[in-house]
Chains A and B, each alone.
Chain A
Amino acid sequence: MIVLKNVSMVFNPGTVNENPAINTINLKINEGDFITVIGSNGAGKSTLFNLIAGTITPTQGSLALNNRDITHEPEYKRAQYIGRIFQNPLLGTASNMSLEDNMMITHKKGFKWIKRSLNNRMRDYFKTELVQLKMGLEDRMKENLAMFSGGQRQALTLLMMVLSKPELILLDEHTAALDPKNAEIVLELTHKFIKEYKLTSMMITHNMTHAIEFGNRLLMMDKGEIIFDVEGEEKKALTVEKLIEKFHQIRHKTYENDRSLLSED
């Protein structure tokens, strides 16, 4: 579905601060894939997401969606078919607006016109969808989102994104800023939605157990490269120990603190 060809990204090229964040990556994301992405800090995971989402344009290489070149398509246009959730739960919703207004804005992608679509039929639709979250939000349609917890807002962002039916969803450590209980709830919902709506998705996580448990494919990144890409049965057989060993095998090096680098939980 989405193909990255020889993609490289260098920040501040030609200066002392030159920083090669992504180094000639080739990646093919197939339809229906649920890819987990792991790697230490600075491995280029978020930069990879920024490249796919269109926040930044690669210094080299090209991106294509269903054989259509999208290398230079701006982020807001790609957002029509790529959904993204950030680590910061505040980024997905507008704090000083009511829940129903937020849901109305995110209901349909693309430019909005001078038309009032929020009516009782839409409200009923939103309410029935909100029930899925099991958070009782369906009774708080008129409340400002500033009154909601981070977990509730992240769950809401997830639901609203799923309802807009994107072709690919990017989850950028979307549970990392939540407390353990909420993180688990949001992760469970993520799993449920991805299965139910058969979404193609990529998830960055610092939690190796999650990376192994979820999804059908796993990418390990280091220094701007994808050093390990497994799927199917091979991935199912993975354990945390095997993963760390694999890392050493490929990189021929040992970090004393590699457990913290790849962080087990």
Chain B
Amino acid sequence: MVEAIFVEGLIYGIMVLGVFITFRILDFPDLTVDGSFPLGAALMVQCILMGTNIWLALLIAFIGGVLAGITTALIHNHLKVPNLLAGILTMTMLYSINIRIMGNRANVPVLKEETILSSVSEMFSSFIPEEYIFLVFFMLVVGVIKVMVDLFFRTDLGLTMGAMGNNEQMVISQGVNPKTLKTIGVGFSNGLVAISGAFAAQYLGFADVGLGQGIIISGLASVMIGEFLVMKSNRIGVLTFCAIAGSILFHAVMYLGRYYGYVIDMTPNDLNLIKGLLIIILLVITQSKKLKKTAIRAMVSK
């Protein structure tokens, strides 16, 4: 079952990359994720049911996510709404849109249809053991996406985006409109989240309108766990790797909670509580680390 943790961690890792881009690089806490994740799932599933080419379906899911992100960015930029509220607005609207996309149903299964995953497992089942097909496949997919994200953030545009989360005035001083950068960044991030949702739907065998509930918390927890692995680095390759590794670790913890939680009388309903507590604990540890550092510095300077 270890490979199941890895597969889940990798699928959700794509979403974590998206969350990492908005929260850490752009400094734009974006809650659209809770809506764009099921949006990706809904678009993917509906396209599969309509018989669209499965790769085209994935592209459509990506574009849907990008549009959702752009909506949030536009609301924030032009109506001067705080970014958190803009994300909540889009997320709330997406709930209805997702149900519309799925044909006024809250849950649509795709167990018997041909999906990317079913065709992949068919293709390789002769020479890779069944349980490792998905693992290898998602390692490849996530690897490619990670490298693409890394390359993007090393381009001039990517570097400028990195500077914006740090120092918006610097970006303005360079003659770049920060609104444009936010729109591109948040759009791109939600595109990734939608792809993650599309894969999750195929892996689970259904799309559900509640699939994204609290997903932003999972994403944030994963990013924070990842940051524990390497505290400081300015290399984007390291940072994205940490985000994905954080996602896998997070899912390992959740897996333990789900399967062995009964030992301490825990039910799957308690998982959201655990997620929240996990984030709080991580925050406390980070804070105390910082305090210790400043205390040591103060002592040295004395």
Residues of A within 8 A of B (CB): 74-77, 79-80, 83-84, 86, 90-98, 101-102, 104-106, 109-118, 144, 161
Contact = CB atoms under 8 A, between A and B. Distances in A.
5 contacts: A79-B175, A94-B167, A101-B159, A109-B175, A110-B176
Chain B CB within 10 Å, residue with most, of A80, A110, A116, A144: A116
User: Nearest 7 A-B pairs (CB), nearest first?
Assistant: A112-B156, A109-B175, A94-B163, A80-B175, A94-B166, A79-B175, A112-B157
Interface string B153-169: 01111111011001101
Contacts of B160: 105, 112
A116 B166 CA distance: 20
Contact of A113 (B155, B170, B173, B177): B155
B152 interface: yes
B167 to A, nearest CB: 5
A89 to B, nearest CB: 11
B234 A97 contact: yes
A96 B166 contact: yes
B178 interface: yes
Nearest to B166: A94
Contact of B234 (A80, A92, A114, A144): A144
Interface of B: 151-152, 154-160, 162-163, 166-167, 169-178, 180, 234
Contacts of B159: 97, 101, 104-105, 112, 118
A177 B166 CA distance: 20
Contacts of B173: 79, 83-84, 92, 161
A110 B175 contact: yes
Given A76-B178, A79-B174, A115 B163 contact: no
B130 to A, nearest CB: 39
B234 A105 contact: no
Contacts of A116: 151, 154-156
Contact of A114 (B157, B166, B167): B157
B155 A114 contact: yes
A115 B166 contact: no
A200 to B, nearest CB: 17
Contacts of A104: 156, 159
Given A105-B159, A114-B157, A95 B166 contact: yes
Contact of A98 (B158, B167, B178, B234): B234
A94 B174 contact: no
Chain B CB within 10 Å, residue with most, of A75, A76, A98, A102: A76
A111 B176 contact: yes
Nearest to A88: B169
A76 B234 contact: no
A92 B159 CA distance: 15
A105 B156 contact: yes
Given A105-B163, A109-B175, A112-B155, 6 more contacts: A77-B175, A96-B234, A101-B159, A106-B170, A116-B155, A116-B156
A163 to B, nearest CB: 12
A34 to B, nearest CB: 21
Contacts of B171: 76
Chain B CB within 10 Å, residue with most, of A86, A91, A111: A111
B156 A115 contact: yes
Nearest to B157: A112
Contacts of B158: 114
A90 B175 contact: no
Contacts of B169: 86, 91
Nearest to A164: B174
Contacts of A77: 175
Nearest to B154: A116
Contact of B180 (A79, A111, A144): A111
A93 B170 CA distance: 6
A76 B156 contact: no
A114 B152 contact: yes
A41 to B, nearest CB: 22
B167 A115 contact: no
B156 A91 contact: no
Contacts of B167: 90-91, 93-95
Chain A CB within 10 Å, residue with most, of B154, B155, B234: B234
Nearest to B179: A76
A235 B152 CA distance: 53
B170 A76 contact: no
Nearest to A83: B173
Contacts of B178: 76
A228 B162 CA distance: 44
A83 B169 CA distance: 12
Chain A CB within 10 Å, residue with most, of B151, B156, B169, B171: B156
Contact of A92 (B151, B157, B170, B177): B170
Contacts of A79: 172-175
A93 B64 CA distance: 35
Given A94-B162, A94-B163, A95-B166, A76 B176 contact: yes
A104 B174 CA distance: 11
A86 B173 CA distance: 11
Contacts of A96: 162, 166, 234
Contacts of B154: 116, 118
Contacts of B175: 76-77, 79-80, 109-111
